[in-house]
Structure 1
Amino acid sequence: MTQPQKGVCAEPNLHAQYLLLNVVDDDSQAVRAKLARVLEIFDHHENEHYEAMVTGMIAVGANYWTELYPGLIPTELTPFPDMQCEDRSAPVMPCDLFIQIRADRLDICHAIGIEVMELLRLHTELVEQIRGFRYLDGRDLNGFIYAADNPRGMKRREVAIIGDDDKDFAGGSYIHVQRYRHDLRRWLSLAPRQQEQVMGTTQEHNLPSPEQSASSHCVRASGKGIGEDIPSLLKQGMPYGDMVSQGLFFVSCAASSQPFKAMLHSQIYGNGEGDYDRWLDYTSAETGAAFFAPSIAFIKQQSLL
């Protein structure tokens, strides 16, 4: 199989830098060449600071793909799904490029980010920058384990990476990102039992809660299709925050764009019987964008055209 970008299936890190960018000039050839150089920046820091477990990922927005890479288009690359039901919504914030930098050292994430931004300075404008961090033993800021149902080992690659059956885009991955902002003051006003009912798992050991229901977060946001043992997408997001605002920067990687759309529909619209994801009463998405992360070989080959 064509080599995917290392950041797609990477194991969890302690720190992340997420960069959302728009391209501001028409020199697509220059941008293609610069993106290949971004891969070189990732490789340099991975080799220079091997103990930091550096990984990176470059993904191209659904609305920008044909401008950057004229010709073939990933089959399922479509704009971010715009969904809304009552007071629950998935707002869209289209961006041309998404760059994910992760490492076990915050200073290395910062150094790579600065280098990448300087390289792309003449061609892009920064739309948003988010610093993610590991919270306790891999929890969201609500106190519950995040993405505990993620596939493990080689299953991560099977779920997140397009196989050789799609030779044009083998090694690539469909990426969806959202920035959620939590209302932790309201969340913390709930009793522990009420929190476990909303999430559907116990807080301490992440076991199925006796209070689990069809509207519990673990049910509505599992990413599992009918008859599937593991989710059809890999969640790579991390908490972010300061003393003013806190939340989760959600990132999913998958071999198809359909699992994310199905999961989001399950959260917002529910099962048709009023059972939507109750966690959405305490957090709200403020951004949303769809991208495709091509294989390393694809990015390098296209940079020569």
Structure 2
Amino acid sequence: MTSAQAGILLPPPPLAVYLSFDLAVGSDVGGALARLCTVVDGEQVVAGLGSSVAQALGQRVQGLRPFTAMSGPGVDVPATPAGLWLWLRGGDRGQLLHRARQLEAAVLPAFYLREAVDGFQYQDGQDLTGFEDGTENPKDQAAEAAAVVQGRGPGLDGSSFVAVQRWVHELSRFDALSAEQQDLSVGRHRKGNEEIADAPPSAHVKRTAQETFTPPAFVLRRSMPWANGLEAGLMFVAFGHSFDAFEAQLRRMVGAEDGITDALFRFTRPVTGAFFWCPPVTDGRLDLRALGLG
């Protein structure tokens, strides 16, 4: 039986670790992926593969492409492609550490670790600014329709495409804004989470209202705060049945359509950006038929 990796549709866990790996040129990619399949269950660990992996195997996954850097008035959104992305989900930091070590050992030497980031839940699902994250997430069947590929045949059905960005918050800059300025930047009242009807067009809610795009740009967000010492922000993770909805939202955020940049850029910025294909799961194992691996 084929399905999506379960962790994609489940709520975010209490704790997470995000691992990004680069691909070693000329390495045994197929062997590393075969070992990965023995330690990735799609629930405690969600796996995504970059376009360089498909190319190294001489394959093409329909819909998989590299992240494209964008810029707008005063803002830059970087592209930092990677070969492999692993989202470790759990509630015990020690167990996540040991699982991360096991995963790294499984994919060496074909993949080598570039970055490891700790994620966590803050309050009741808030961003570190105190605003609720993912308010407009689709639910239940709508979530599956937004996030999971359907109707494309064996090897693709049940898969998902994920956009991953690490945003760094300038929390002192955010704290310097008045409470009203903070609310208007997001387009919601932090207390009560009610949308502000007359928020300015730069408000994040106005920039990314999913139903205002043609076609509607629905994604399933599974973002979580992260911190390393006093540096902190949001690990933005958005799953879709393609990358189109995410790219449409990001173009509007940088002002590509009308020159109006998202007010979030006043106090936060992305420092990474990558696209990955999350294979489906068949009989409890990653299904890599789309990459020519049985």
Aligned CA distance change for structure 1 residues 223 and 110 (closer, same or farther; 3 Å): farther
For 1:58, the equivalent position in structure 2 comes to 47
* Counterpart secondary structure, 2:236: strand
Aligned CA distance change for structure 1 residues 166 and 281 (closer, same or farther; 3 Å): farther
Structure 1 residue 241 corresponds to structure 2 residue 230: no
For 1:48, the equivalent position in structure 2 comes to none
For 1:14, the equivalent position in structure 2 comes to 14
* Residue in structure 1 matching 2:244, options 258, 266, 271: 258
Aligned mates of 1:141, 1:82 — CA distance in 2: 25
Q: Give the residue type in structure 1 aligned to 2:23.
A: V
Structure 1 residue 173 corresponds to structure 2 residue 174: no
Following superposition, the deviation at residue 223 of structure 1 comes to: 3.6
Deviates more, 1:56-65 or 1:91-100: 56-65
Contact 2:50 2:275 in 1 (8 A): yes
For 1:290, the equivalent position in structure 2 comes to 275
Contact 2:166 2:235 in 1 (8 A): yes
Following superposition, the deviation at residue 295 of structure 1 comes to: 0.6
Contact 1:151 1:231 in 2 (8 A): no
TM-score (norm 1): 0.87
Following superposition, the deviation at residue 105 of structure 1 comes to: 2.8
Aligned mates of 1:61, 1:143 — CA distance in 2: 33
Following superposition, the deviation at residue 168 of structure 1 comes to: 4.2
For 1:82, the equivalent position in structure 2 comes to 69
Structure 1 residue 67 corresponds to structure 2 residue 52: no
Give 1:118-267 correspondences, 5 Å limit: 118-226=105-213, 232-267=218-253
Following superposition, the deviation at residue 301 of structure 1 comes to: 5.3
For 2:3, the equivalent position in structure 1 comes to 3
Aligned mates of 2:29, 2:111 — CA distance in 1: 11
Aligned mates of 2:110, 2:252 — CA distance in 1: 38
For 2:83, the equivalent position in structure 1 comes to 96
Aligned mates of 1:301, 1:78 — CA distance in 2: 17
Identity of aligned residues (%): 25
Aligned mates of 2:254, 2:236 — CA distance in 1: 16
Deviates more, 1:295-304 or 1:30-39: 295-304
Aligned mates of 2:128, 2:198 — CA distance in 1: 21
Following superposition, the deviation at residue 61 of structure 1 comes to: 0.5
* Residue in structure 1 matching 2:98, options 89, 111, 117: 111
Contact 1:90 1:286 in 2 (8 A): yes
Q: Give the residue type in structure 2 aligned to 1:295.
A: P
CA deviation map 1:68-118 (0-9, x unaligned): 4x33x2322111021111321110111000001112333332222121112
Following superposition, the deviation at residue 165 of structure 1 comes to: 3.8
RMSD of aligned residue pairs (Cα, Å): 2.2
Q: Give the residue type in structure 2 aligned to 1:4.
A: A
Aligned CA distance change for structure 1 residues 288 and 201 (closer, same or farther; 3 Å): same
For 1:49, the equivalent position in structure 2 comes to none
Aligned mates of 2:76, 2:288 — CA distance in 1: 39
Unaligned runs of 5+ in 1: 44-53
* Counterpart secondary structure, 1:143: coil
Aligned mates of 2:257, 2:105 — CA distance in 1: 47
Contact 1:220 1:270 in 2 (8 A): no
Q: Give the residue type in structure 1 aligned to 2:231.
A: S
Aligned CA distance change for structure 1 residues 225 and 11 (closer, same or farther; 3 Å): same
Contact 1:221 1:267 in 2 (8 A): yes
Following superposition, the deviation at residue 262 of structure 1 comes to: 0.3
Contact 2:54 2:61 in 1 (8 A): no
Aligned mates of 1:225, 1:167 — CA distance in 2: 33
Aligned mates of 1:224, 1:235 — CA distance in 2: 15
Contact 1:176 1:291 in 2 (8 A): yes
TM-score (norm 2): 0.91
